[in-house]
Structure 1
C-alpha cells in the first residue's frame, strides 16, 4: 500500500491510501482547488480515487468534499450523524451511510470504522488493511479509548494526531471555552498524551509514525518532532504539516528497510 497526507492540520485534513490502481481518501478538508494542486504535485490522478471516507462533519474534514466527489462521481462513506451534521446535499447515489464500526471493501482494501470520542455527532476513525499491512488514521481523538489502542497495536503505519502542546494552549490567546473544548476529552490529543499512547501500545510491527493534525496556534512542527524523535530510533518518523503535502510512502519499502535493520543488528 502507498499513502500520504495531502493536507493535515487544524485548517484542513485529507489523507490518501492506495493499493494497486485503487485509491481512497480519508476526509477532504481543503478546498477543491488545493486538493487538485497537491494531487498534481504528487502525481496522483483524481480518477484513481474510488471512495472518500469521512471521519466527521467539522469543516476541516469536509471543506472540499462536495465539489470534488460530484466532479468525479465518487461515492462517500459517512455515518448518518456525520452526514446530517455536514448539512451538505450530495446526490443520493453518492452517499453511502455506514455505522461507525462498519467494514467496507474497496478494491483490495478493507476499511474498518473505528468509533471514537470527539465532539461530533457520530464520528469514527479508520484503519485500512490489504490483509497483510494495516494503516491507521487516528485524528480528532478526544481521549484514547480501547478502540484507538487496538488500532495502534495492529498498525504497520500510524498516522496519529498530536494536536497541541499543553503549555502553549494554557498560555495562548484562545478563549476559556475553546481551550476547554480542545482538552476536555472530547477534543484533541496533546503531544504528551499522544506520546504516552504511542509508547504504551506500539508493537514491533510498526514501521512508520506520522504525526498529524497539528494546531497552527498551539503547536509547532519542531516541538512535535523533538518530543517524539528519541522514541522512534527504530522506525521512520515524520510530521505532516498544514503547508504542503507529504511525499508518497510505500509500506513495502518500509518493510524492506526494517528487515535490513534487523539483519544488521543481528550481524
Structure 2
C-alpha cells in the first residue's frame, strides 16, 4: 500500500491511500488547483481516484470537493448528516450516503467508517485496509473515545491529530469561546492527549506514525517533533503540515528499513 498527506491543517485537509490501481481520498479541503499541483508533485493522476470519503462538513474538509468531484466524476461517500451539513449540491449520481460505521469496498481495499466525537452533524474518521494492513486517518477528534483507542491498537500506519499545545492555546489570541470549543471534548485533541493515546494504545504492529492537523496559531512542528520523536525509536515518524504535501510513502519500503534496522 502507498499513502500520503496532500494537506493537513485547519486551512485544509486531504489524504491519499492506494493499493495497486485502487486509490481513494479522505477529504478534499483545499481547492482543486492546489490539489492538482500537489498531486502532480507526487505523481498522482487525479482521474485515477476511485472514490472520495468525507469525514465531516467543516470547510477545511470539503472546500474543494464540489469542483474536484465534478471535474473528475468521482463518487463521494459521506454520512447523511455530513451531506446535509455541507449544503453542497453535488450531482446525484456521484453521491453515496453511508452509515458512520460503514464498510465500503473499493476494488482491493475497504474503507471503514469510525464514529467519533466532534462538533459536526454526523462525523466519522476512516481506516483504509487491504485486509492485512490498516492505514488509519484520525484527525478532528474531540476526545480519545473507545473507537479511537481501538483503531490505534490495530493500526499499521497511523495519522493522528496533534492539534494544539495547551499553554499556547491558553495564552494565545483566540477568543474565550474558540478556546473552549477546541478543548471542549468536541473539538480537537492536544499534543499531550495525542501522546498519551499513542503511548497507551499503540501495538507492535505500528510501523509509521504521522502527526497531523497541527494548529497554525497554537502549535509548532518543532514542538510536536520534540514531544514525540523520543518515543519513536523503532517506527518511522513523520509530520504532515498545511504548507506542502508529504512524501509518498510505500509500506513495503518502510518494512524493509525496519528489518535492516533490526
TM-score (norm 1): 0.97
Aligned mates of 1:56, 1:209 — CA distance in 2: 23
Residue 249 of structure 1 pairs with residue 249 of structure 2: yes
Matches within 5 A, 1:67-86: 67-86=67-86
SS of 1:71 mapped into structure 2: helix
Aligned to 2:174, the other structure's residue is in SS state: coil
Q: Deviations over 1:51-106 (max 9, x none)?
A: 00000000000000000000011000000000000000000010000000000000
Deviations 1:223-265 (Å, cap 9, x if unpaired)?
1111101010111111111100000001111122222333xxx
Give unpaired runs (5+ residues) of structure 1. Answer: 263-267
Q: Distance in 1 between matches of 2:260 and 2:158?
A: 21
Mapped partners of 2:145, 2:12: distance in 1: 24
Match of 1:159 in 2: 159
Offset at residue 39 of structure 1 (A): 0.4
Inter-partner Cα distance in structure 2 for 1:258 and 1:189: 29
Distance 1:26 1:126 in 2: 8
* Superimposed CA distance per residue, residues 126-151 of structure 1 (whole angstroms, 9 cap, x where no aligned partner): 01101111101000000001111111
Compute the TM-score of the two structures, normalised by the length of structure 2: 0.99
Distance in 2 of aligned mates of 1:250 and 1:148 = 24
> How does 1:71-110 map onto structure 2 within 5 Å?
71-110=71-110
Residues 40-59 of structure 1: matches in 2 within 5 Å? 40-59=40-59
- What's the counterpart of residue 218 of structure 1? 218
Cα distance in 1, alignment partners of residues 93 and 253 from structure 2: 37
Structure 1: distance between partners of 2:173 and 2:22: 44
**Structure 1 residue 48: deviation in Å?**
1.2
Displaced runs of 4 or more, over 4 A: none
In structure 1, C-alpha distance between the alignment counterparts of 2:224 and 2:205, rounded to whole Å: 23
Q: Which residue is equivalent to 1:121?
A: 121
SS at match of 2:223: helix
How is 1:1-267 mapped onto 2 (pairs within 5 angstroms)? 1-262=1-262
In structure 2, distance between residues paired with 1:73 and 1:44: 16
Q: Distance in 1 between matches of 2:111 and 2:258?
A: 25
Classify the secondary structure of the residue corresponding to 2:231.
coil
Give the gaps of 5 or more residues in structure 2. Answer: none
**Number of residue equivalences:** 262
SS at match of 1:66: helix
Whole-Å Cα distance in 2 between the matches of residues 215 and 127 of structure 1? 23
